[in-house]
Amino acid sequence: MAESEIFVSLTSKLPELEASIGSVLRGKAEVVRLSLVCLLARGHLLIEDVPGVGKTTLAHALSRSVNCGFQRVQCTSDMLPGDILGVTIYNAKTGAFEFKPGPVFTNFLLADEINRATPKTQSALLEVMNERQISIDGRTLKMADPFLVIATQNPVEHHGTYPLPESQLDRFLMRLRIGYPDAASEREIVRNHRSGMEAAVSTVLSPDELIGLQGAVEEIRVDDALVDYMLAIVEATRRHESLSLGVSPRAAQSLYRAAQALAALEAREYVLPDDIKRLAGPVFAHRVVLHQRAALSARGGDAAERILDEILSRVEVPL
């Protein structure tokens, strides 16, 4: 089979996958598409918004669309790292200590309201998100493949939240905000709402099919001029007068992989400049840190996105 035929075969289920998730998250086609970009790029997804707009619904729909293991953790201020990773307990019958795996040993881990957990508990996910393994009791344990952390969080100004540190934010490939639906979609949600709506999501992919798709995404062509374009945007975030912290090399890698995944979702075997411009905000905005003066003068929670839009308008687009 020719290389292009293999690509078409692997990506033929993507429209069905997108439609399945879109059936429960009404009127949010762009959010659905970007969440699938994150899935295909082997990245972790952070969904930030006010309560009740569908953060957990989207996370459930993503996990149900693939026939993989799924675990959900409801983060609270009294949660301990062992509640996520697992604990070693003494077995009186055998006279030995036994490790009891935590919910992290799955394919899809939903950390609901992650910023309600304390920093100590949040840090339990740092190693597993970066290296897909945990080190515990002198042992290193690998995660299953595929492995994806989907975290939801409320805006930091809400009561009882602990802001995620920069090192953890950098491990999320993308941050999405769902927002309120338009009037027509909200009318449909109100009329057709039923408990457990996300359970109606159909399983579209097997684990092997998802792994095959992720491998195909890595073969999407990215021209050298586009790599230079990405790096020019990255460098501009490090020099911008309103930012005290620009994006990291890990963020540049994330943008590269996300652009490949978006091209695959749009049935292309090559990346376009518009892919990079479209993804720069979701991939970079949660990673940059505003100078104190810029943060104080910022209105609303999208100051980082506005700065990135300004940077994109300045950086020359390759022909």
Q: Per-residue pLDDT tens for 250-268?
A: 999 999 999 999 999 999 9
Over residues 1-19, the mean pLDDT reads 75
pLDDT at 295: 61
142: tokens are 């690998």
Angle at the Cα of 31 from the Cα atoms of 253 and 26, rounded to 5 degrees: 165
Mean pLDDT of 291-307: 72
The H-or-E segment that residue 257 falls in is helix 249-265
- In the predicted model, what is the mean pLDDT of residues 87-114? 90
Q: Output the six-digit token pair for 255.
A: 């943008």
Check residue 196 and give left, alpha or beta (phi > 0: left; psi -120 to 50: alpha). Answer: left
pLDDT reading at 249 higher than 90: yes
- Check pLDDT > 80 for residue 159: no
Integer Cα distance of 164 and 203 in angstroms: 32
| Distance set, CA 155 to CA 4, 116, 150 (Å) | 43, 11, 16
Residue pLDDT, tens place only, 220-235: 999 999 999 999 999 9
Which has the minimum average pLDDT: 17-31, 34-48, 90-104, 198-212?
198-212
Q: What is the mean pLDDT of residues 100-110?
A: 94
What burial letters (b/e) apply to 81-98, b meaning 16+ CB within 10 Å?
A: bebbbbeeeeeeeeeeee
pLDDT above 50 (res 14)? yes
Using DSSP bridges, classify how beta strands 148-153 and 133-136 pair: parallel, antiparallel or unpaired: unpaired
Q: How far apart are CA 103 and CA 84, in angstroms?
A: 6
Given this model, what pLDDT does residue 297 score? 58
Contact present, 82 and 102 (Cβ < 8 Å)? yes
The pLDDT of residue 274 is above 70: yes
Those residues with Cβ within 8 angstroms of residue 1's Cβ, 6 or more apart along the chain or in another chain: 9
pLDDT score, position 198: 52
Q: What are phi and psi of 54, to 5 degrees?
A: 115, 20
| Cβ atoms 42, 174 nearer than 8 A | no
Share of the chain above pLDDT 90, in %: 57
On whether the CB atoms of residues 307 and 315 are closer than 8 A, the answer is no
pLDDT for the residue 60: 84
Measured CA to CA, the distance from residue 284 to residue 79 in angstroms comes to: 29
Q: What is the residue-wise DSSP string for 48-59?
A: E--TTSSHHHHH
Which pLDDT score, from 0 to 100, does residue 161 have?
A: 76
Interaxial angle between packed helices 249-265 and 29-40, expressed in degrees from 0 to 180 and rounded to the nearest 10: 110
216-231 burial: b if 16+ Cβ within 10 Å, else e: bbeebebeeebbebbe
CA dist 159 and 126 (Å) reads 24
Beta bridge partners of 205: 66
pLDDT at 3: 60
Question: What letter represents residue 65's amino acid?
Answer: S
**Rounded to whole angstroms, how far apart are CA atoms 319 and 76?**
50
State the pLDDT at residue 95.
85
pLDDT digits 0-9 by tens, 17-65: 898 888 888 888 999 999 999 999 999 999 988 888 888 888 888 888 8
Mean pLDDT on 187-212: 76
Q: According to the model, what pLDDT value does residue 1 have?
A: 45
Using CA atoms, how far apart are residues 110 and 102, in angstroms rounded to an integer?
13
Mean pLDDT of the chain: 88
For residue 148, list its beta bridge partners: 108
- Residue 286 phi/psi, 5-degree rounding, is -80, -5
- Is pLDDT above 60 for 299? no
Mean pLDDT computed over 151-177: 85
Task: Output the furthest CA–CA distance in the chain (Å, rounded).
Answer: 71
Q: Which residue has the higher pLDDT, 180 or 148?
A: 148
Query: What pLDDT is attached to residue 226?
Result: 97
- Does 140 score more than 60 pLDDT? yes
State the Cα–Cα distance between residues 190 and 26, nearest whole angstrom.
11
The 10s digit of each residue's pLDDT in 277-291 is 999 999 999 999 998
156 pLDDT above the threshold of 70: no
